[in-house]
Structure 1
Amino acid sequence: MLVRPVSESQSERSEIIFPGDANALGNLFGGRLMQFIDLVGAMAASRHARAITVTASMDHLDFVAPVKVGDLLILKSSVNRAYKTSMEVGVKAMVEDVRAQRLRHVSSAYLTFVAVDSTGQRIEVPQVLPETENQKRRFEDAARRREMRSEETLRKRAMRAAMAPEWHS
């Protein structure tokens, strides 16, 4: 079984926020932040799998603080855990105060990516080797989140099945 350390998946992306990225209050659009998060998450997933990856879900996203026009947004990602064909990727978004040389946490998210071949068929991915105590904690936390996602998927499936006759009336 192939195993890759978390450090091989770590990715970073930086963006300066311009007026076209923001609402009337000068705050970054949430959807634009989600796009940046998805892109840096895909970078980590692709590095880990060494394959094409597609976003399966973004199941947890916290908007902690606004990002303003002119801010320097830094996004960091890494694979927390890998399963057979899927991976959980954690993304942290921060704003850098370049004058004070400080980072301010503005958002966090967990995404699931699936590795696919050139025809779109799922392919197996290497397992993750957590190296630091923080990576080991995220590795364990990912298993708990996966269990919650599975429970939620079953709940939604049952709800859709119960509503199906109504949709066809």
Structure 2
Amino acid sequence: MKSISDQAKTVSQSRTYLTDLVLPSDTNHHDTIFGGKVMAYVDKIACIAAMRHCRKPVVTVSTDSFDFLAPIKAGEAISLEAYVAWTHRTSMEVFVKVESENLLTAEKRLTSRAYLTMVALNDQGRAASVPHVIPETVEEKRQYDQAWERYKIRMKRKENSIE
């Protein structure tokens, strides 16, 4: 009998949001948030989304397609959205979108997006199976349909880095 954690789940079951205020201590000499700080937020929210999907511990094994599109300034809010977009046997591809919000004008901008690969772990710290994911919206279905190509690119990149 399959456990609850092994049953297929919808994308919405892993959807996770995080909002924080960008303070001067988070910024560089341009008064914009450090890229590494954004990356840390992205990794953290991807971990939460992946764990919500599989209900197991996870580790990050790959970050690809991390695009910085616009800066986030001190005093603005950073808002992140993450969800499991695709699954393989033991891995999950998590999509993360980052936006800035000017809290005085309500203007929002897409500032970053990324795909991370997370692997679920069993009690012995080995890769564990994950539930399939079921896309529901048009955007989720598009990402799901394109995931196999992203997976092949990651595997090729991994293969080339071992040589």
Q: Distance in 2 between matches of 1:59 and 1:52?
A: 21
- What residue is the counterpart of 1:7 in the other structure? 12
- What residue is the counterpart of 2:44 in the other structure? 39
Aligned pairs (5 A) from 1:20-39: 20-39=25-44
Q: Distance in 2 between matches of 1:17 and 1:117?
A: 36
Aligned length: 158
Matched, 1:120 2:120: no
Q: Distance in 2 between matches of 1:102 and 1:76?
A: 17
- What residue is the counterpart of 1:157 in the other structure? 162
Aligned to 1:139, what secondary structure does the other structure show? Answer: helix
Paired-residue identity, %: 35
The runs of 5 or more residues in structure 1 that have no matched partner are 159-169
Aligned to 2:38, what secondary structure does the other structure show? Answer: helix
Q: How big is the shift at 1:97?
A: 2.7
TM-score (norm 2): 0.92
- What residue is the counterpart of 1:148 in the other structure? 153
The runs of 5 or more residues in structure 2 that have no matched partner are 1-5
- What residue is the counterpart of 1:61 in the other structure? 66
**How much is the aligned-residue C-alpha RMSD, in angstroms?**
1.2
TM-score (norm 1): 0.89
- What residue is the counterpart of 1:77 in the other structure? 82
Spell out structure 1 runs of 4+ moving beyond 4 A: none
Aligned to 2:123, what secondary structure does the other structure show? Answer: coil
Q: How big is the shift at 1:24?
A: 1.3
Q: 1:92 aligns with which of 84, 92, 97?
A: 97
Q: How big is the shift at 1:14?
A: 0.6
Deviations 1:94-135 (A, max 9, x none): 012334434210000110000112331211100010111111
